[in-house]
Structure 1
Amino acid sequence: MRDGSDKDVGHIVGIWIRVSTEDQAQGESPEHHLERAKMYAAARGWIVGTVYDLSGVSGKSVVEHGEAQRMMEDVKSGRIRGLIFSKLARLARNTRELLDFAEYFDRYGADLVSLYEAIDTSTPSGRLFYTMIAAMAQWEREEIADRVAASVPIRAKLGKNTGGPASFGYDWIDGKLEPHPEEAPVRKLIYELYLEHRRKKTVAQLLNEQGFRTRTGAKFSDTTIDRLLRDPTAKGEHRANYTTQRPHKTNGKTWAYKPRDEWVIQKVEPVVSASLWAECNAILEAQSARRNVGPKGKYLFAGKTICACGGKMYVKTGTHKFACGKCRNKMPVDDLEAVFRDEMKRFFWSEEDLSAFLANADQEIVDHSNQIETLKAEKAQLKVECDRIYRDYMDETMSREAFGELYTEKKSRMKEIDTAIPQIMGKIDALKVSRLSSEEVISGARDLYGRWDDLTFEDKVSIIEAIVEKIEIGERDIELSLHYVPSRELADERQQEVTDSSRQ
Structure 2
Amino acid sequence: MEEKKRVGIWIRVSTEMQVKDDSPEHHEQRARYYVQSRDWHIEEVYRLEAVSGKSVMDHPEAQRMLKDLRSGRITGLIFSKLARLARNTKELLEFGDIFRKANADMVSLAEQIDTSSPAGRLLFTILAALSEWEREEISSRVLASVPIRARMGKPLGGQASFGYKWQDKILMIDQKEAPVRKLMYEIFLECQRKKTTSDRLNSLGYRTRNGARFSDTTVDRLLRDTTAKGQRLANHTKSLGDGKQWITKPEHEWVVLPCPAIIDEHLWQQCNSILDEQTTKRTKIGRKSEYLLAGFVKCSCGKSMYVTSTAKKFTCKVCKNNISVEDMDDIYQGLLKGYLNDMRPEMYIDEIDTQLKEKEQLLSSTIKKRAQLRKKMDDLVTLRLNGELDKDHLAELYKPYETQVHQLDKSVPELQSEIDLKRAQMTSSEFVLTEAKALYEEWHNMLFPQKRAIVETVTEYITIGQDSVNVGLAYLPTTTPQTSQHDFKGSLRQLA
Q: If the length of structure 2 is used for normalisation, what is the TM-score?
A: 0.43
- Larger RCO of the pair (alpha carbons < 8 Å, separation 6+): 1
Give the structure with higher Rg (CA): 2
